[in-house]
Amino acid sequence: MLLTKPKKPCSLQDFLDYLAYVTNDAENLQFYLWLVDYHQRFRNAPLEETALSPKWNFDDPSPRQSDKSGQTGLGYSDKTLSVLGVDNFDSLEEEDISNASTVDGHPSPYTTTLGTLKFSDFPLMECKALDGSNTRFNNAQPFRMEINRMVAHYIAPGSPRELNLSHKDRAAVLYALRRTTHPSAFQPIKTVLDLTLRNQTHPNFIRWSICNGNKPWTIFLRTFAVCNIVVGFVIAILLTLSRASRWYRILAALEWWFGIMTLITAYQGLCVLLLRRHTREVRPWEMDDEYGHRHGCDDEEARLRHSKILYKETKSRWPVKMELFGPPNTSDNETWMDRYGMKSVFKRTFEQEVPTQDQGLHMMQNKIVRQAEAWAFIITVSLTTFFTALPKGNLY
């Protein structure tokens, strides 16, 4: 996905929105993108600095010196890093990250951040290592403050965006990060995220993206399809009981075929009409409010947003609109939820449409429609043959 750059509605930003609002585990992708970025920055750091953080071997839990090639052992290719826009980093000067990500030089409208929290404020030093001792860090190591903050946000138990890790993996990573800031210390996390994102989350996202209508529209389509099927049966029964020629009963086939085809596609969340127009209905969270942002905040967050932090250790350019640091990934305080809840059923059903651009998704949707048409044809032929074979009722 990072290499092919799929278009909407299968883009990386859509994937992040799906994780944030549907599966509620956006921290997996957020941490993964940071890890790709961190891998490149560590590799480009001066050798005299990276020498302070030896490569970590989980099979032999004792730090080893990094090789001179700057390899980190996480397996990211230069092409992947280039796609993410992290292949060219200038001097790591102090950078204001009161809003951790920006879009065209402006703060991202997607989330707020806990702006006044300093690196030293996080309850990271209370974490216990495998041997039960207090966690202590070598502040001379490169990116140490950044690692501390990532641990406090994503790895430490009870952190705001705690990753779903086993106790063994979490303890092993915390133990490794006590001694080194080398990217290889994150190997267990990378392995878990690779398996989760590639083999489970992303396939589910593609299946979810096939749906081009929201839930009210899908329910409307299913009801409409059932009505067409019922009308077909009414036509066939009335013509069978009449004195009309049995060949008129074939007229019911049109209603059956259209109704069955629509019903099959609607149960997969797919609307043929929207597909032919290359559009989909807009998601509730994609509707900007009158204030130009999507996430609400309380008074404390509003106060914190105006504070500035100088993030000395990193300079990130994310391929998606996201805040790396901040409160938990929840939509409880977002304004679109209240606005969407106040919408009438009619407006929810006939929602605004936006164009779809991904050709691969169109191919999958067309394949589903072709299969639905084939099944509808088989069932329609069977029903038509059955009713045509019945004798006349001659009741009227």
Residue at token pair 């796609």: 83
Between CA 15 and CA 386 the distance in angstroms is 48
pLDDT tens-digit readout, 24-48: 888 999 999 899 889 888 988 888 8
pLDDT band at 296 (very low <50, low <70, confident <90, very high): very low
Q: Which of 187, 190, 178, 191 is nearest to 53 (CA)?
A: 178
Confidence at residue 96, expressed as pLDDT on a 0 to 100 scale:
32
Answer with the residue of higher pLDDT: 165 or 319.
165
pLDDT tens-digit readout, 299-317: 433 333 333 333 333 334 4
Confidence at residue 173, expressed as pLDDT on a 0 to 100 scale:
92
Asked which of 174-188, 254-268, 280-294 is least confident by mean pLDDT, the reply is 280-294
Q: Which of 297, 304, 293, 227 is nearest to 262 (CA)?
A: 227
> Taking all residues of the chain, what is their mean pLDDT, rounded to a whole number?
74
pLDDT tens-digit readout, 337-358: 778 878 888 888 888 888 888 8
Contact call for residues 365 and 210 (beta carbons, < 8 A): yes
pTM over 0.75: no
Paired tokens of 93: 């000067």
Beta bridge partners of 281: 353
pLDDT band at 102 (very low <50, low <70, confident <90, very high): very low
pLDDT tens-digit readout, 216-238: 999 999 999 999 999 999 999 99
State the average pLDDT over residues 154-180. Answer: 91
Confidence at residue 1, expressed as pLDDT on a 0 to 100 scale:
63
- DSSP string of 366-393, one letter each residue: HHHHHHHHHHHHHHHHHHHHHHHHSPP-
67 pLDDT exceeds 80?
A: no
Residue at token pair 């006044």: 116
Between CA 40 and CA 34 the distance in angstroms is 10
Between CA 197 and CA 184 the distance in angstroms is 19
The listed range with the strongest mean pLDDT (87-101, 136-150, 329-343, 360-374) is: 360-374
Between CA 105 and CA 101 the distance in angstroms is 9
Contact call for residues 355 and 278 (beta carbons, < 8 A): yes
